C-alpha cells in the first residue's frame, strides 16, 4: 500500500509542478489543464517507471491474497 501512495503522490507532485511552470509561461484555463495532464503523464511515464512496477507488483500481490481468501471461503461454504 505504501508504494501505491508514494506513486500517487509523486504523480500529483509532477502534475502540480508542470502546471506551475506552464502557468508561469502564460497558460490559463482549459489549455493549462490539458497541457499539464499531457506533459506530466509523459514525464511520469519516464521518471516513475520503476516505482510503477513496484506499485503494480503490490497491487497484484494484494489481489492474489484476496482471491485465495475468496477461494478458501467458497470451498468452506460448499463443504
Cell of residue 1, nine digits: 500500500
Mean pLDDT of 54-76: 84
In the chain, where the domains are located = 2-78
pLDDT at 65 over 90: no
Predicted TM-score (pTM) of this structure: 0.75
> What single string gives the DSSP state of each residue in 53-65?
HHHHHHHHHHHHH
Encode pLDDT of 27-63 as tens digits: 999 999 999 999 999 999 999 999 999 998 988 988 8
Cβ contact 5:51 at 8 Å: no
CB atoms under 10 Å from CB of 65, counted, come to 10
Amino acid at each position: 500500500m505504501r508504494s501505491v501512495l508514494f506513486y500517487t503522490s509523486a504523480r500529483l507532485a509532477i502534475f502540480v509542478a508542470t502546471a506551475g511552470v506552464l502557468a508561469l509561461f502564460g497558460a490559463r484555463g482549459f489549455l493549462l489543464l490539458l497541457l499539464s495532464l499531457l506533459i506530466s503523464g509523459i514525464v511520469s511515464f519516464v521518471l516513475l517507471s520503476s516505482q510503477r512496477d513496484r506499485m503494480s507488483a503490490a497491487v497484484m500481490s494484494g489481489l492474489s491474497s484476496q482471491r485465495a481468501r475468496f477461494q478458501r471461503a467458497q470451498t468452506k461454504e460448499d463443504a
